[in-house]
Amino acid sequence: MKTIKGPGLFLAQFVGPQAPFDSFGAITAWAADCGYLGVQVPSGAEALIDLDLAATSTTYCDDLRGQANGLAITELSAHIQGQLVAVHPAFDDAFDGFAPASLRGNPAGRQAWAVDQMRKTINASANLGLDRMAAFSGALAWPYMYPWPQRPAGLVEAAFDELAARWRPILDHADSRGVDICFEIHPGEDLHDGVTFEMFLDRLDQHPRAKMLYDPSHYLLQQLDYLDNLDIYADRIGMVHVKDAEFNPTGRQGVYGGYQPGRSAPGGSAAWATGRSTSSRSSPSWQ
């Protein structure tokens, strides 16, 4: 905890078409006026950053820092693009809205775009002098999260094999640029708790660039011991998000929320840290 700086703000929840949220200069002036010292910038928000330029031009990156009204650009975030690296077909319709309109209905094209976006965000991070970035992992096994009906033997393992295969070249590129990818451990992602993060690491030979983005609000929802998690994964936690959360079950709703809106939306204010059923196996539909 001695290396935490801040407070910083994740801008993804605020960027929009109206001032002061419609340009990088205006939104950072607003954040500075609110008392923040840094901002985490979503790399897919075209109103805030030209990712193609940031990935190729240190001059542009220097200019962007100069527009930050004295705030630090703490990290870039590629949550949305990371999500699209691995989408189970059951979620194609839901996640198509995250892709460019020209790629909707084209899962292979959408995935290729997402991988390219990840590589560009890595390059832009390096050009900004940043040594870490944020992302979601995507999900191939999430439809099978609850163990009913019983999962075919090997199904989850095959999903994690494929997830790691998709991420390894991205992580290798991150390693070549000196950038950690901090995966937000989050319901809806295959990496949603410590066990799943370990499954991922095992398939990546403990890749040194795969880190955690720690947000205890997502752990509280799962009734996971978020303090013990800090001790277990201290060496793998590279980033922190902080926001209020309370598990408040009623006689009508609990963890799953009854399909009601607003139960666990991604995002939140960010402080930043420097520091395996018995049935036969079937062919996974994502391959």
- Give the pLDDT confidence score for residue 261 in this predicted structure: 80
Alpha-helical (H) ranges within 178-267 are 194-203, 216-222, 226-232
N residues, the chain: 287
Q: pLDDT tens-digit profile of 220-233? A: 989 999 999 999 99
Rounded Cα gap, residues 1 and 123, in angstroms: 28
Q: pLDDT tens-digit profile of 239-270? A: 999 988 888 899 999 888 898 886 544 444 44
64 compared with 260, residue with greater pLDDT = 64
Q: Whole-structure pTM over 0.75, yes or no?
A: yes
Q: Rounded to 5 degrees, what are φ and ψ at 136?
A: -90, 160
Q: Which residue has the tokens 């419609």?
A: 22
How is domain 4-246+264-273 classified at the architecture level of CATH? Answer: Alpha-Beta Barrel (3.20)
- Give the pLDDT confidence score for residue 6 in this predicted structure: 86
- Give the pLDDT confidence score for residue 262 in this predicted structure: 63
User: Where do the structural domains in the chain lie, given as residue ranges?
Assistant: 4-246+264-273
Q: How many CB atoms lie within 10 A of CB 131?
A: 15
Tell me what percent of the residues of the chain surpass a pLDDT of 70. Answer: 91
- Band of the pLDDT at 283, cuts 50, 70, 90? very low
pLDDT > 70? residue 139: yes
Mean pLDDT of 43-58: 98
- Give the pLDDT confidence score for residue 127 in this predicted structure: 98
Q: pLDDT tens-digit profile of 184-239? A: 999 999 999 999 999 999 999 999 999 999 999 999 989 999 999 999 999 999 99
181 compared with 281, residue with greater pLDDT = 181
- Partnered with residue 40 across adjacent β-strands are 10, 75
**HSE-up of residue 117 (Cα within 13 Å, Cβ side):** 29
- Give the pLDDT confidence score for residue 275 in this predicted structure: 32
- Give the pLDDT confidence score for residue 280 in this predicted structure: 31
